[in-house]
Amino acid sequence: MKVNLKNMTIEELKQFCAGESMESYRALQLYRWIWKKDIDNFLDITTLSKKQREELESRIALPRLKVLEVLQARDKTLKFLFGLPDGNTIESVFIPTKRRKTICVSTQVGCSLRCSFCMTGKTGFTRDLSVWEIADQVRRVESIVEKRISNVVLMGIGEPLLNLKNVMKAIKILNCENGMNIGARKITISTAGIIPGIIALSQESIQVKLAVSLNAATDRKREILMPINRKYNLGRLFEALEDYYSLKGKRITFEYVLIKGFNDSISDAKRLASITENIPCKINIIPFNSIGPGKFKRPDPERIKKFINWLSPIAQAVSLRVSRGSAIGGACGQLRARKP
């Protein structure tokens, strides 16, 4: 099997070059060719000798994700279906605004958490994505839309903190100034509340943002939406988040999917404000996006407005996320692995 250089950070490329009896500065050259110039074969690397290029081409891999389908919504949101080398598929979403060019990235094929409001949970879990499969989503989209990606959110298919080793290596590739040079503070990891992953992330030096999918303010309701709450309940979760904040000093975002008649009452708003009051945070309200037939419904606009009006005076910063790409199945909770 060929060695895959796209799974390597610069530090690992230096070790690779040493093993190949190549000068250490070649690592930086290779990295730039791979991630800045986006080559897919070594024969194009003009800074290497012909012999070096031919030798590397015969033994080393530079794979790319295969673009199987691109769907565009009226709001200019794009959803990409990518094919993986083993035949599996993932989806990514490009969300352009005047201020930002954001991509929502997947970290696993499928998901094991089975959240009842999320399409991904209905497909089951297949495997973790490798480092290059995570990072290359950003590179492929950037090359297709011909615009520089400014923000990356790891909120697509899968639970990032269950694939944290590969996620962090991919983030280092995205963040590297010799690669795509995306600022760490422009990268957000979203989790359903995997406590060991939160603890591990708190030990990382890179200053990415953390978002927590909360969705209910009591264990009883949260367990209905998110079975993972039976393992990591709200009490344990908030203890871990308080420790995380004490170490990182960075405000946490809480994501709250608003569901008609389930978690959209004034008492829900009061409990949400209460459980989040001790951690510097922002609460992001996300009206439920349809995932097909089921018991959950989106609140009407007046109810959404009321909930935010109830919550805003008693909670910390509150915002309403305007869903993008729902008509093409690209909004929060709608992504899934599928065939084109």
Q: Measured at the alpha carbon of residue 37, what is the angle toward residues 34 and 40, in degrees to the nearest 5?
A: 50
Domains with residue ranges and CATH for the chain: 3-61 (1.10.150.530), 66-328 (3.20.20.70)
**pLDDT class for 324, splitting at 50, 70, 90?**
confident
Give the single-character DSSP code of 216. -
Q: Count other Cβ atoms within 10 Å, centred on residue 129.
A: 27
176 among known catalytic residues = no
Alpha-carbon Rg for the chain in angstroms: 21
> Residue for token digits 């094929």?
109
Q: Which tokens in the block code for residue 137?
A: 């989503």
Question: 103-130, pLDDT tens digit by residue?
Answer: 999 999 999 999 999 888 778 899 999 9
| Choice among 17, 91, 118, 255 that is catalytic | 91
| Choice among 17, 118, 281, 332 that is catalytic | 332
Q: CB under 8 Å, gap of 24 or more: what pairs does 235-244 form? A: 236/195, 237/193, 237/195, 237/212, 238/275, 238/278, 238/279, 240/195, 240/198, 240/199, 241/198, 241/212, 241/279, 242/278, 242/279, 243/199, 243/202, 244/198, 244/199, 244/201, 244/202, 244/210
CA–CA separation, 333 and 39 (whole Å) = 33
**H or E stretch at 63:** none
Give the single-character DSSP code of 44. G
**pLDDT class for 330, splitting at 50, 70, 90?**
low
Q: What is the pLDDT of residue 137?
A: 98
91 among known catalytic residues = yes
